[in-house]
Copies of this chain bind each other. A is one copy, B any other.
Amino acid sequence: MPEKISAKDRILDAANRLFYGEGIRAVSVDAIAEKAGITKRTLYYHFKSKDDLIEAYLVSRDQPNLALYRKWFEETEGELPDKVEAIFAELARSARHPKWKGCGFLRTAAELANMPGHPAMKVGAAHKKKFEAWLGEEFKDLEVQSPEDLARHIVLLMDGAFSTVLVHRDPDYLTSAGQGARLMVENAMKRA
């Protein structure tokens, strides 16, 4: 028998789809309530404001996204450059899906750029820091002179590719970023 999904979960699911698909400010609370099949008043029973719901949306994406990156990395055979490039290759695959709209964290940050203290901004910043820190850890075991710098450069290429693919609607930029990331890892290993 199918477990009944709670109203709160349905609201969060609807918020995920709409915020990611249409953008934060483009989506009204009414639209989310309607998509979730509840009244707006019920939505406000579970979340105290739209801002609160935006934050919950990003919190709900934090761990799943990081887990995906880790999975792609770990399941790839080969050397470190191959594993890093594989993340970009998988992202390029995702980007070919018509519903793909870039990185939800980056797009939310762009929309809320005029509200630096917004709770969702903190969630987004923490998410990106976690990814960078994880990459740094993966580089630590190798004889690379500065794993932190290398991790940061990879992060920059990745976030650049997210943005650029969104602008041009061309996943090749993700492939190109993967190639760039591979070069940076190889050169860092060579120098050591």
A171 contacts across to B, CB distance below 8 A: none
Given the known A-B contacts A164-B128, A184-B180, are A23 and B158 also in contact in the complex, defined by CB atoms under 8 Å?
A: no
Which listed residue, B101, B112, B160, B176, touches A163 by the CB 8 Å rule? B160
Complex Cα–Cα for A184 and B183 (A): 8
Main secondary structure of the interface of A (DSSP, over half): helix
Chain B residues, Cβ within 8 Å of A180: 149, 152-153, 156, 184
- Given A111-B110, A187-B187, decide whether A176 and B160 contact each other with a Cβ distance below 8 A: no
- Which residues of the other chain, B, contact A21 by a CB distance below 8 angstroms? 114
- Evaluate contact between B168 and A23: CB separation under 8 angstroms: no
Least CB distance from A141 to B in Å reads: 22
Assess A159 versus B153: contact at CB under 8 Å? Given A23-B111, A111-B25, A116-B169.
Answer: no
**Is there contact, CB below 8 Å, between B114 and A23?**
yes
- Closest B residue, CB atoms, query A168: B125
Q: Given A157-B160, A176-B149, does the pair A110, B184 have CB atoms closer than 8 Å?
A: no
**Complex A-B, nearest 7 residue pairs according to Cβ-Cβ distance, in ascending order:** A160-B160, A110-B110, A156-B160, A25-B25, A153-B180, A159-B160, A107-B110
